[in-house]
Amino acid sequence: MAMLDDNETKDATSSIGTGSSDHRVIEDRAMEKRVWRKIDMYVVPIVAMFYLLSFLDRTNVANARVAGLQTDLKMTNKEYSIALTVTYVPYIVAELPSNLMLKAVGPNLMLPTMLTLWGVVTTLQGVVKTYSGLLACRFFLGLLEGGVFPGLVLYLSYFYPRYKMNLRVSMFFSAASLSGAFSGILAFGIINMNGIGNRPGWAWIFILEGLFTVLFGASSYFTLPRSVDKAWFFTSEEKSYVNAKLLEDNTQKDEEMFTWKEVIEATKLPQVWFLAMTFFLDGVVLYSLAYFSPSIIQGLGFTAARAQLMSVPPFAVGFVVAMISAWISDRYQCRGIVVIVSSIFCVIGFAMFLGSKSHHVQYGSLFFSIPGTYTTAPTLSAWSSNNAAPQTRRATAIAIGFIMTNSGGILATWLLGSLSPAPEYTSATITLLVFSAVMAVFGGINLFYLWNQNKKKAEIRKTLTREHEASGLGDRSAWFIYNL
């Protein structure tokens, strides 16, 4: 994982994006650079690998389909869509309880256990002989993976102040675009193992990628720290500094224990629901492209093997664009603007695919739509995490967002192929174009709402001292400044 640029660090007394003016940390530039770089070195790469494997093991079925899975198991397009849908039902159900359990169980235990077990299930997909066996594997894969993305976002909030979150979330979410690139390269190589052990090439995609997940999951029990205080790579002085920075940012002012009151409070936040709608729409776009890009490219006249390779460049560009956008988002505190612009990228891409009959132009459209949606998703994740507190409220807000994302994933599994026939996918493309435009609209609505709330809070601070403000307000406190 690349190190961060020095100008990403901030003056330790900066109030930009922080939630409180009562807990200023004495500036120490050397310490400032050292602590964040240590977390970037020791935590973010592990988190990124978690998500890369999660996305790879969930979406490699798209590569297996092109390599002959659907034919060998005698599946119709409808049955293939059902197999994808089966993944998302338990996935959605698991997200909220998993996030609420994360702190109690400990992320250093819960996340590696989930990773190791879903690696076992991924591997078993390579030995299935029947459609019903595939359905069983997809169900348990969804159940075990459900809490991963919201759990990783919540986990990073234990280590980073809010104004540093988007770049880090994008650093691990960009693993999803990398997984799209890697899956094409890996599948291209692995399908040449066709016949080894009397197994088809598509089976080896699941077996080899699943076994690697198991090995990495087992190793992460020893490498993933539970919290700042348990981080083996920090000195006691560095632990105190990071905890003080989190307190300054208001991210550590959490309730002592889980309360259902905070779960309910999260559901009352307008920003949660503005973003929930955006999460849903982006989920449809994101998973449509994740699951069907190889099939879309094959429909442009490429062979199955060539389609695997041709899926790599758009996802590689998506990785670069997501990282640049995340740096801009953190540096200039402009989450909403990034969401709007990246949504417009999606609009441009789908308009190109819909409006042209040229296969070159249609392939080129993926260089807009894929970077667009793979930039929108991590930005939404950071934006949601930034603007809810205390911890249970934040965990619930994050989980709601990902429940909506994966609800969009269910629609995506039916939109291309089953409801909109290949290779034109006309009705699906129109739907995705409209959804992308509406994403930009909801991003703008949320941006205006938060700006207006910050304006009202500024007026309250003129007439009220912190000591006289009611306790337990969380993000509704006049001293909690919403990230825009």
DSSP 146-199: TTHHHHHHHHHTTTS-GGGHHHHHHHHHHHHHHHHHHHHHHHHHHGGGTTGGG-
In the chain, the percentage of residues whose pLDDT exceeds 90 is 60
What does the DSSP 8-state code read for residue 200? -
In contact, 474 and 252? CB cutoff 8 Å: no
What average pLDDT does the segment 296-323 reach?
90
pLDDT band, residue 291 (cuts 50/70/90): confident
Structure tokens at 142: 């969804």
Q: How far apart are CA 201 and CA 222, in angstroms?
A: 34
pLDDT tens column, 345-356: 999 999 999 999
Nearest alpha-carbon partner for 335 in 475, 149, 167: 167
Q: State the greatest distance between any 2 C-alpha atoms of the chain, in Å, as a whole number.
A: 77
In contact, 214 and 116? CB cutoff 8 Å: yes
pLDDT of residue 423: 87
Better-predicted residue by pLDDT, 222 or 177:
222
Q: Is the model's pLDDT at 468 over the cut of 90?
A: no
pLDDT of residue 146: 87
In the chain, the percentage of residues whose pLDDT exceeds 70 is 93
Find all residues with CB under 8 Å of 5, minimum gap 6, and list them. Answer: 327
Cα–Cα distances (Å) from 65 to 27, 75, 76, 286, in that order, read 55, 10, 11, 18
